[in-house]
């Protein structure tokens, strides 16, 4: 079945530096790739998403890139700030007609002051 | 703003009890989902529903059932709770567009402990 692998599981970066989280997916038919952020004790919330008809999307300090040939996509956070500390989940749509998505196992990002 | 609510934030039950977790969304979304979240395992889909009275198994449906009698409400049922069902349970909903996946909006979660 559909599988999404996410690396690294934990990441610690100095405030102001960049952070990169990488994911790979198995189903070549996947066409939707969202990223969710979950702060401690809170619900996951969408921060950015990309569809398979584009290779890159940017929103202020965050960007996502997609390589369909290699079946991987990445989240880039630049100029990291303390409020970026959270668990980040990537996901991929396994069956677009049913809107079901498969989540990666998550990356705990810590920003060092 | 989309609002997804869950009936309890914390729940403690005993092994063998029947447990109901309820989720309500107020945005007229067609799709509703139940996940469980465990450390290092991410969000695993238990069941989802794309219409009233419709349901489909996710990746880990064993030991669970669901009910969707009304569009806004999706219930997760543990027929006979076991200790390995101790977890955080998250409900989500999304708008259904033909052939496309869309943003899922999550509830606050229910932390269930089975003793």
Interatomic CA distance for residues B6 and B22, integer angstroms = 6
The pLDDT confidence band at residue B71, using thresholds 50, 70 and 90, is: very high
**Closest alpha carbon within chain B to A103:** B43
The pLDDT confidence band at residue B2, using thresholds 50, 70 and 90, is: low
| pLDDT score at A94 | 58
Model confidence at A1: pLDDT above 80: no
| pLDDT score at A53 | 78
Interface test with chain A among B5, B101, B102, B109, by most A beta carbons within 10 Å: B101
> Taking a C-beta distance cutoff of 8 angstroms, is the pair A99, A2 a contact?
no
Q: Which pair of structure tokens corresponds to residue B53?
A: 């009275």
What Å distances lie between residue B44 and A11, B48, B85, CA to CA?
22, 11, 13
B7 forms beta bridges with: none
What Å distances lie between residue A71 and A9, A24, A30, A103, A109, CA to CA?
19, 6, 9, 15, 23
**pLDDT one-digit tens code per residue, A68-100:** 999 999 999 999 999 999 999 999 985 554 567
**Closest alpha carbon within chain B to A35:** B103
């Amino acid at each position: 079945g559909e599988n999404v692998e996410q690396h690294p599981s934990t990441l610690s970066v100095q405030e102001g530096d960049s952070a990169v989280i990488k994911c790979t997916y198995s189903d070549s038919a996947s066409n939707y790739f969202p990223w969710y952020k979950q702060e401690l004790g809170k619900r996951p919330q969408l921060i950015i998403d990309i569809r398979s008809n584009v290779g890159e999307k940017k929103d202020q300090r965050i960007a996502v890139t997609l390589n369909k040939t290699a079946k991987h996509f990445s989240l880039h956070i630049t100029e990291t700030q303390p409020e970026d500390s959270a668990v980040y989940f990537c996901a991929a749509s396994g069956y677009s007609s049913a809107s079901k998505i498969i989540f990666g196992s998550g990356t705990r990002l810590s920003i060092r002051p | 703003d989309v609002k997804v609510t869950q009936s309890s934030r914390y729940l403690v039950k005993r092994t063998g009890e029947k447990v109901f977790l309820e989720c309500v969304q107020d945005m007229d979304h067609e799709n509703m989902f139940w996940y469980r979240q465990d450390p290092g395992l991410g969000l695993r889909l238990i069941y989802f529903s794309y219409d009233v009275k419709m349901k489909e198994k996710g990746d880990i449906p064993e030991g669970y059932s669901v009910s969707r009698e009304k569009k806004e409400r999706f219930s997760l049922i543990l027929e006979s709770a076991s200790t390995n069902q101790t977890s955080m349970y998250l409900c989500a909903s999304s708008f259904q567009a033909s052939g496309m996946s869309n943003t899922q909006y999550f509830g606050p979660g229910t932390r269930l402990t089975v003793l």
